[in-house]
Amino acid sequence: MKLRGIVPAMVTPMREDESVNVDELRRQCDRLIAAGAAALFCLGTNGEFYALSGEEKRLVLRTVAETAGGRIPLMAGTGCVTTAETVELTRYAKGLGYDFASVICPYFAALSQEGAFRHFSAVADACRMPVILYNIPARTGIDLSAETVARLARHPYIVGIKDSSGRFENTLAYLQSVPRDFAVLAGNDSLILKTVRAGGSGGIAGCANVCPERMVRMFRLNEAGRTAEADAIQESLKPLRDLFPGRGSCAVIKRAMNRMGFPVGPVRAPFDLTDGPEVDAQLERILPLYASGKDG
């Protein structure tokens, strides 16, 4: 299955008591599908996978699979600290009918490039479902090298990578090292168009929770050769993204969604915003631009 386009990195809606809000999760699935998403990605960084229990992860996976009902490809964030845990959760997602597993580099403990190669290979060998590597060195402490990714790309079940390094030169190195049919996806919303124009497949986008139609339109305009219009839409995301540093993207995105009338609740303590009123004041200025359809 080809993966190309905008894939929203879904938030995990929660109630004020921090329990998973299944009803709102279903509504968000329907909303993102209607917006033209290329696939749905749950349990990523913006889905607070690191803050959810194993039972809660399985609840999210079941809810998204049941709600999507085969209408759209599905990607599950199944990466855990250990290989055994990752295999277990990946097999669970496969059993629910997920099309891809997004597997983050193991985190906290130090890991070499060879260790990462063995981990991803073992997961793919054991689960035999398409795996998307997830490179986010600021959170995991390891930056997958182009050489390692090229080795992994030879595995029949390792089919792509999400690069959240934030360095376009890193993405280019991947593109130059892997086969043409290996999906290279931007994990930084500001690099989606550059990635696609260099031969990438699209982006896994946190901002698509806030303005999914706009981001899908950006991708489609670029595909149609209307690059200036696409660039204007991507530039219009900058005021929202400028709120992320020092706060975390998920906390800002959830704050924005709540203000838009989508009750996705807080992020789990202790990661919620400490300067909510300040962020709200800036969102009050930013969000009407997206609602109005203006691109700049």
Q: How many CB atoms lie within 10 A of CB 7?
A: 30
Of these residues, 92, 98, 134, 174, which one is catalytic? Answer: 134
Cα–Cα distance for residue pair 31/212, rounded to 1 Å: 9
Torsion of CA 179, 185, 191, 193, to 10 degrees: 70
Q: Output phi, psi for 122, to 5 deg.
A: -65, -40
DSSP 180-237: TTSEEEESSGGGHHHHHHTT--EEEESGGGT-HHHHHHHHHHHHTT-HHHHHHHHHHT
Of these residues, 98, 162, 174, 290, which one is catalytic? Answer: 162
Q: Which helix (H) or strand (E) holds 126?
A: helix 113-127
Residue 243 Cα to chain centre, angstroms: 18
Cα–Cα distance for residue pair 130/75, rounded to 1 Å: 10
Amino acid (1-letter code) at residue 65: A
2 is annotated as an active-site residue: no
194 is annotated as an active-site residue: no
Provide the 3-class DSSP secondary structure of residue 43.
Answer: coil
Cα–Cα distance for residue pair 107/138, rounded to 1 Å: 10
Catalytic center residues: 134, 162
